[in-house]
Amino acid sequence: MSKQPIKIGNFQYQPSDATSKYDAAVIAPLEKHVQEQLTNDGTYDKEANLFLLKLYQFHPQKASLDVIKKVLILALTNGSQTNDFTLSLYLIHEKNQSEEGVSQLIKLYDLLEACQFDKFWELRATASEVLKSLPSFDNNILFAGVLAITYQEADKAVIMKALNFNDTKSFDEFVNSHNEFFRGTQDNTVRFALNSYNQILPKKVPQNIKFERKTNYLLRNNLHFYRGFRYWKELKI
């Protein structure tokens, strides 16, 4: 191996000597990269994080439970749609999965995926002792996104409970500052912004036939066919 920079996701590392990217030397800088993702919003890098978990598999004695928890929190808050949390679990040794903090995170993840948001907040509150040492995380925005693909309109109380708001004023503020999810509140209802999920759009039926394939028939057959195809193409049935 020559002295080449190692690149994984947005992570770059220039090793001081010839190292392959599977060496234990890459672990420490990757761990720093995880910390950076926690402090700067919007820098989530699942590729680097999953790779770090893989390196932990190769060098089990170097695995840090603390960092594993951080990676899981990042997956919990950023990667719900792409199944990142489960993908991480495939790489975490069973022994580490049964550690108290990790198992609490797995429970939180289950509640999130089952959309039992109120229970999620309950557990989040009671499990704070175990999760105390970890950076705070906030799933309001994620949950709001999930609710917005289900509802057009909903009872304010229901949504407030799901998003863990106690007073109307701060909830209204939240609604007004996130118009990608909400259209606004009115008396006792919350109205969600329209998207392709929470309304019924006319269906487009894909016809997977290549133009070449059509021309094939076109060449083989006579003018009648050609006319037929022209109608067909224009009508887009």
Does 157 bind other proteins (CB under 8 A)? Our answer is no
Whether the CB-CB separation of 69 and 89 falls below 8 Å is answered with no
Tallying the residues shown for the chain, one arrives at 237
Q: Provide, rounded to whole angstroms, the least separation between the CB of residue 31 and other proteins.
A: 18
The CA distance from 199 to 142, in Å, is: 20
Residue 135 Ramachandran class (φ > 0 left, ψ -120 to 50 alpha, else beta): beta
Please say which residue, 82 or 168, places its beta carbon nearer to other proteins. Answer: 82
Distance of CA 215 to the CA centre of its chain: 43
Q: Does residue 89 bind other proteins (CB under 8 A)?
A: yes
66 contributes a contact to other proteins by CB under 8 A: no
200 binds other proteins (CB under 8 A): yes
What six digits make up the tokens of 101?
């903090």
* Binds other proteins (CB under 8 A): choice among 207, 219, 223, 231: 207
Q: Binding of other proteins at residue 18 (CB under 8 A)? A: no
In single-letter form, the type of residue at position 223 comes to: L
Distance CA 181, CA 194 (A): 8
Give the distance, in angstroms, between the CA of residue 22 and the centroid of all CA atoms in the same chain. Answer: 26
Q: Which of 10, 43, 86, 136 binds other proteins (CB under 8 A)?
A: 86
- State the nearest-atom distance from the C-beta of 102 to other proteins, in Å: 13
- The site for other proteins (CB under 8 A) is made up of 1, 20-22, 46-47, 50-51, 54, 57-58, 60, 80-83, 86-87, 89-91, 93-95, 110, 113-117, 146-147, 149-155, 158, 189, 196-200, 203, 205-213, 217, 220-221, 232, 237
